[in-house]
Amino acid sequence: MPSANSVKLSCESLWKVYGNNPEQYFTDEIGSFNVEEKFQNLTENGSIIACGDVKFDIPTGSIFIIMGLSGSGKSTVLRCLSRLVEPSFGKVELDGLDLLNQSPKDMIEIRRHKMGMVFQNFGLLPHLNVLENVAFPLKAQGISKNERLARANEMIDLVGLEGRENSYPHQLSGGQQQRVGIARSLAAEPEVWFLDEPFSALDPLIRTQMQDEFLRLQRQLNKTIVFVTHDFHEALRLADTICIMKDGQVVQIGTPSEIVLAPADDYVKKFTSEVPLWKIIEAQSIMEPPDGKEVDRPSVKPDTLLEEVMRLFDGKTEEVQIVNESGECHGVLTPVSIIRALYRDEKKVG
């Protein structure tokens, strides 16, 4: 699991406040003030807290998804991580390097070599064709024309746009434009990949297709990813970790099944209510302790989804055992425990 890996990107006590002169409220050290008090002060003063007191760690090579309703501050957090938006307060660390202390010049170097970003409405340059758009980050670095076009061509092949190199953005469909956006963001071979609702502007069918492509790319490239979406299903499909935001604050951080099984509050519960739980919950997260019986029953791996477990219950089978790689029995599942989980029996959950 990625959680075992080192932390690539992290933030702590991250605030972005819009309003009249919010800096005056942030004179003290991190952790030295009362967060609720600060929220109250700022709100009374008429400021808008786009995000407040946000903290998380993102392990190398994992997909971290920020999810929330529109206006909940997702884009703001994402932009604070790359300093597209200057945070009002807090700490952002990339590979242990304090980003907020970097000079503008150093920041440009970091963006050139370590960061890539995909935008909701693509953000393509209308006057450049596909090839030039993809090569643009390399042009900014001052790489020679031949080399950058060769690299751009590779990227175009990677996202499956061969043959459209000379088209202009307006000649492409939304899905194709976003492929260009993706190719461009990867052209400089970044380590951290930011995506702000990359598929929200696309039709549902194309969206699913792009999500598959995204997973394929990630298997191939293994980047550290921060992905923003307002679509809970998308988050469940793609995430290693989901961070749920509401009104600028983090409500819950956890794996998809943690979030689904143990929603932190009603806000999160609302998202999970329409989710087909059997497609998300893994056998190990709701199994009961092993009973030690030596009967003939089907075995499944710990991370098998309930969907598959349920298929095993035919007329004769009444239990399924969960067995790890070395053949040890970890626990058992019965139809009753599954039904309880799906109906959210509070006792069982957690």
Partner 1 sequence: MLAEKNILPILWGGVLVFSALVMTLGSDLKWLFEFPESLHVPIAGFLDWIMLGFVDLFKWLFRFISRVLEWPMRGVQGFLEWLPWLTFASLATFIAWQGGGRRTGILTLVLLLYIVIVGYWYEGINTLSLVIICIPLAVLLGFTLGVWGHKSPKANAVIQTTLDFMQTIPAFAYLIPILLLFGFGPVVGLIASVIFATPPMVRNTILGLNRVPPEVRESGTMSGCTPRQRFWWVEVPTAFPQMLIGVNQTTMCALGMVIIAAIIGGFEDIGWEVLGRLRKAQFGQSILAGMVIVCLAIILDRITLSYAKRQLPTESHTGLRIKQFIVGFIGISIISYILAMFIEPLRIWPKSLEFYPADTMNALVFNIIANFGDVLETSKNQMQYFVLLPVKLGFTRSIFPITWGFALTPTIIGIYWFIIFLGAAIALYFRHWKIAIAIPFIAGILYFGITGVSWVVYLVVLPLFAFSLGGTRVTLFVTGSLIFLMVSGIWVPALVSIYLCSVAVAICIILGGLMGIWASTSERISAIIRPINDTLQTLPQFVLLIPAVMFFRVGDFTALLAIVAYAIVPMIRYTEQGLRTVSPTAIEAGITSGCTPAQIFWQIKLKLALPQILVGINQTTLFGLNMLVIAALVGTTGLGQQIYLALSKVDAGGGIVAGLGMALIAMSADRMMRAYISRTSK
Ligand X SMILES: Nc1ncnc2c1ncn2[C@@H]1O[C@H](COP(=O)(O)OP(=O)(O)O)[C@@H](O)[C@H]1O
Binding residues for Mg ion, rule: CB under 5 A, are 75
Return the closest-CA partner of residue 78 out of 50, 42, 97.
Answer: 50
Interface positions with partner 1 (CB under 8 A) = 79, 82, 84, 108-109, 111-113, 115-117, 119-128, 136-137, 139-141, 168, 170-171, 181, 184-185, 188, 194
Q: What angle do CA 71, 73, 76 make, to 5 degrees?
A: 125
Contact partner at residue 342 from Mg ion, ligand X, partner 1, none, CB < 5 to 8 Å by partner kind: none
Stretch that binds ligand X, among 74-82, 153-161, 173-181, 296-304 (CB under 6 A): 74-82
Residue 61 Cβ, how far from ligand X at the closest point, in Å? 25
31: tokens are 């952790």
CB 317 within 8 A of CB 298: yes
Choose between 85 and 262: whose C-beta lies nearer to partner 1.
Answer: 85
Residue 210 Cβ, how far from partner 1 at the closest point, in Å? 18
Q: Does 48 bind ligand X (CB under 6 A)?
A: yes
Residue 85 Cβ, how far from partner 1 at the closest point, in Å? 9
In Å, what is the CA distance from 86 to each residue of 23, 32, 46, 65? 12, 21, 20, 21
User: Between residue 75 and residue 134, which ones bind ligand X under the rule CB under 6 A?
Assistant: 75-76
Alpha carbon 3 to chain centroid, angstroms: 14
Please identify which residue in 22, 52, 59, 68 interacts with ligand X, judged by CB under 6 A.
68
Residue 23 Cβ, how far from ligand X at the closest point, in Å? 15
Please identify which residue in 74, 114, 184, 207 interacts with ligand X, judged by CB under 6 A.
74
Stretch that binds ligand X, among 39-47, 71-79, 137-145, 258-266 (CB under 6 A): 71-79
Choose between 230 and 344: whose C-beta lies nearer to ligand X.
Answer: 230
35: tokens are 């967060």
Contact partner at residue 68 from partner 1, ligand X, Mg ion, none, CB < 5 to 8 Å by partner kind: ligand X
Residue 20's SS3 state is coil
Residue 74 Cβ, how far from Mg ion at the closest point, in Å? 5
Contact partner at residue 168 from partner 1, ligand X, Mg ion, none, CB < 5 to 8 Å by partner kind: partner 1
Q: Does 72 bind ligand X (CB under 6 A)?
A: yes
CB 26 within 8 A of CB 15: yes
184: tokens are 């461009």
Choose between 49 and 156: whose C-beta lies nearer to ligand X.
Answer: 49
Strand segments, DSSP code E, in 141-240 are 192-196, 224-229
Contact partner at residue 73 from ligand X, Mg ion, partner 1, none, CB < 5 to 8 Å by partner kind: ligand X
> What does the alpha-carbon distance between residue 341 and residue 345 come to, in Å, rounded to a whole number?
6
Choose between 77 and 277: whose C-beta lies nearer to Mg ion.
Answer: 77
Choose between 117 and 338: whose C-beta lies nearer to partner 1.
Answer: 117
DSSP per-residue string spanning 77-130:
HHHHHTTSS--SEEEEEETTEEGGGS-HHHHHHHHHHHEEEE-TT----TTS-H
Instruction: Name the helix (H) or strand (E) containing 52.
Output: strand 48-59
The residue count for the chain: 350
Choose between 121 and 222: whose C-beta lies nearer to partner 1.
Answer: 121
Contact partner at residue 126 from Mg ion, partner 1, ligand X, none, CB < 5 to 8 Å by partner kind: partner 1
Q: Which pairs with CB-CB distance under 8 Å and at least 24 residues apart come from 335-344?
A: 337/286, 337/287, 337/288, 338/278, 338/286, 338/306, 338/309, 338/310, 340/286, 341/261, 341/277, 341/281, 341/286, 341/306, 342/277, 342/278, 342/306
> What does the alpha-carbon distance between residue 110 and residue 98 come to, in Å, rounded to a whole number?
12
Residue 73 Cβ, how far from ligand X at the closest point, in Å? 4
104: tokens are 């503008």
User: Between residue 271 and residue 330, which ones bind ligand X under the rule CB under 6 A?
Assistant: none
Instruction: Give residues in contact with ligand X (CB under 6 A).
Output: 18, 48, 50, 68, 70-76
